Chains A and B, each alone.
Chain A
């Protein structure tokens, strides 16, 4: 007996280990695929509460669970979906939303005006810290719902905000309500297409203005699908068709949103046929993707816009000619072809081509590759001998930043280095402290399809993402005039004038417009992606 000890023990340990490994897994085999369901790969969403969702993954799942007030056609023009009509007064200040009758949430509750008003109030209330709360900032009474910490990060607590409700929301009857904006805005209908403006059922609230803790784990929506069970974190979210849905009925009976930690793993599953749609083919697989997928590899426009900004506090970039010269020193086509293998396209405007009012090549000769002229301008303006481009290393930017540096070196004969910061937050911190960072890498995805969504946040003086500090009063007032214009057409005209100022000032170097590069399995067909990087769940269907 003693002699056999080690062998017996080893065998015992191995048996226990294998038993433990084998047993505990058999329990959850509820994901057998039904014939008419599909799987779409996403990353773990940040949240499934509409007012707290600002990224594509959560937004994608919400698109199956909820039915928005408006959706967008190919030209980014909004059309009503859950709303019967959306009308406004002459000043674009008071908007009346009339809901389609007969719609219900998946738990049977009818959809009423209150569902919208309560959800928006919750989203706008500062202490709820909803990430999408800035969408409500145009509505009357938003400012009174915010509180500011008197000593920043210090120990003192922020005061309670003065109001808990938006004064700009008023219920007329059970299916009609009005939204009063603090200033007229012709594009408001488009803004309301965003996830933050989805309704919440009574079941979502534990009390007045307090969300039930479990709601975000299994959201109940007014959409064509309902969640099956709960959000299985880091694993999957299953949704199934709602019986007798009143709106547009999708062609599939269910969707499994499969959660991947890594796009590479999702791509492996796509190629092996274990995943039906991948919305983003990893850049390292692009070269082999056309061979792996054939015509199942597809591209469509997206709203992403990549550029580098000139921090205005750095003296060396205050000369316009230096900025123009640097822009002319770059060969955008070469970068998109060599580094991005055609998955992005060169940008020569300051707003994305996907929005109405976009004009191609507004940047003009400033964005044309012209090394000779660039060098002339640069030498005449006595540009700096050393250029830095600062980027965050966690986003895969090194390759193109280095390529851009090489182009600048070759065209201008100056020294150029790419400087990596671990995270975007580190980069921002340096910019805030006005340290020398050189050019800064930036990107933008639109929230709603309007030119203003690029011009306002990126280039106006108080723009939320204007980290480089560009400020031009003439530009600001044109953007504001556009926002106050009576029609979207008139607004776009003003905004185009504003864009012309940018082309003259060159506060940033436009680099690339993004594309959705996606792939699907042989099981599905009619796969399309919209400008918001989401699969159109109403069009996708099973192949015969």
Chain B
């Protein structure tokens, strides 16, 4: 187990540098004229252009720029965004709220998906099963650009149950509505996977044995079936957490949450290479750690899996 973790951690270092290098290269390739992008439609004088180019090393070659970046990274300096703010500060501002939003969303999604998934699997073909299928298909078919403003309009403005926007220092209550919208992105797939997995396991030999032993139904499903069925669901949830963090661009925009998705969008729009790479670097780490945790969870859930 210990050796497995060490090996994975070493792999993570390589993956991290590989990923940041790629993102840096891609940003460098699309970078056209970040200084003009910075000032919008205003004209910019030659003297300003020269000074800003100098300040952000824009006239250096790609490898030189990447070297500056890595050098900064190793000394704990994530660099400066083209807006002049320290990227470390921007990360510290953006991450907490996105993290909270994602966690609430994933708890909502997982709770609904697992509970409803198990019930649908047990009562296949029932009204409940068909109804959840129908509802989740509708939610899945609705793009988030429609769903988010609609939820804001109905629950935020018309009914007034939730505040229409959340902001940076949002509390649990303010984050519920955006989190629910975000959860709707993943709840359908998680539910279908749970349902399929539980349904399959219900037919397995060991379940028949357990029943034959005279175990209570609740114990058969709650312990024997669920434990085996959760493996694919856990994998999915692990990946979903990463996806929700980076993919909350629309939700964050609609509910005015200045988080990771919003900053990424801003960085790409203004050709702000260092900003994008800074946020992606942290995202890469999040993905890597989550994948490691998911892999370790397998061993907990399934005694047949052993890591050497």
Contacts and interface: CB of A to CB of B under 8 A. Distances in A.
A185 B278 CA distance: 48
Contacts of A473: none
A130 B160 CA distance: 45
Contact of B110 (A10, A28, A31): A10
Contact of A158 (B51, B153, B171): B51
A236 B93 CA distance: 13
A407 B86 CA distance: 49
B152 to A, nearest CB: 5
Given A6-B227, A146-B47, A149-B50, A272 B157 contact: yes
A17 B104 contact: yes
B52 interface: yes
Interface in A256-315: 258-262, 264-266, 268-269, 271-272, 274
Nearest to A41: B256
A148 interface: yes
B41 A424 contact: yes
Interface stretch (A19-27, A88-96, A316-324, A359-367): A19-27
A60 interface: no
A260 B93 contact: no
Contacts of A108: none
Contact of A425 (B32, B58, B252): B32
A443 interface: yes
B40 A234 contact: no
Interface residues of B, number: 75
A14 B111 contact: yes
Contacts of A269: 164-165, 256
Contact of A20 (B54, B103, B156, B226): B103
B258 interface: yes
Nearest to B45: A134
Contact of B107 (A14, A134, A261): A14
A127 interface: yes
B301 interface: yes
**Interface range for A:** 35 or more
A21 B54 contact: no
B252 A158 contact: no
Interface in A225-252: 232-236
A285 to B, nearest CB: 10
Contacts of B301: 5-6
Given A133-B48, A234-B93, A235-B258, 20 more contacts: A5-B301, A7-B222, A14-B110, A17-B107, A18-B104, A46-B38, A126-B51, A131-B48, A147-B47, A149-B49, A154-B59, A233-B93, A261-B266, A268-B152, A268-B156, A272-B157, A423-B37, A423-B269, A424-B36, A428-B36
Interface of A: 3-7, 9-10, 13-14, 17-18, 20-22, 24-29, 31, 46-47, 54-55, 126-131, 133-134, 146-149, 153-155, 157-158, 161, 216, 232-236, 258-262, 264-266, 268-269, 271-272, 274, 394, 423-426, 428-429, 442-443, 457, 464-465
Interface of B: 32-33, 36-55, 58-60, 83-85, 89-90, 93-94, 96, 99-100, 103-104, 106-107, 110-111, 114, 149, 152-153, 156-157, 160, 163-165, 167-172, 175, 219, 222-223, 226-227, 230, 252-256, 258, 262, 266, 269, 300-301
